[in-house]
Amino acid sequence: MADIDLFLSWVRTSLHDAELALHNGDAAPRRGLWSRKEPVSVLGAWRNAFGQQELDELFAGLARQFSDCTSYRFELLSYDVVGDVAYTAGLEHTSASVDGVPRSYVLRATQIYRREGGEWKVAHRHGDTVAE
């Protein structure tokens, strides 16, 4: 199987499952897929984070806000793998409760990944809300 096919399989399984877990209030799977090496960063639709401590705080806070995810779908629009670096860009379609209130929204999301010890890890995320 080609390197890009293995990466896409990981995106569609492990990464998808971690995002679904986060939207159900469990940040551990998402955190497990993020790099423990610096630099790491999030330029988020709701909050930003730079470095490991801020990343931990961000993910824990998001997990407290999210619950009852009824739908999560990542519409992959663009991607590539070059050596030990990869990226994805797409739309995240989510229906979940945020602070106990059901919401549906779409985020534009771009992520950068690096291979560490043979495994893909997220190093950067940028997300913003798609205007309705």
pTM to 2 decimals? 0.95
Token output for 77: 């629009």
Domain boundaries, the chain: 3-129
Q: Residue 132: its pLDDT value, please?
A: 65
Are 31 and 15 in contact, with CB atoms under 8 Å apart? no
pLDDT at 119: 97
CATH no. of 3-129: 3.10.450.50
List the chain residues with pLDDT less than 50.
none
Q: Going by C-beta distance under 8 Å and a sequence separation of 6 or more, which residues neighbour residue 78?
A: 87, 88, 89, 90
Report the pLDDT value the prediction gives residue 127, as an integer from 0 to 100: 96
Most distant CA pair in the chain: distance in Å? 43
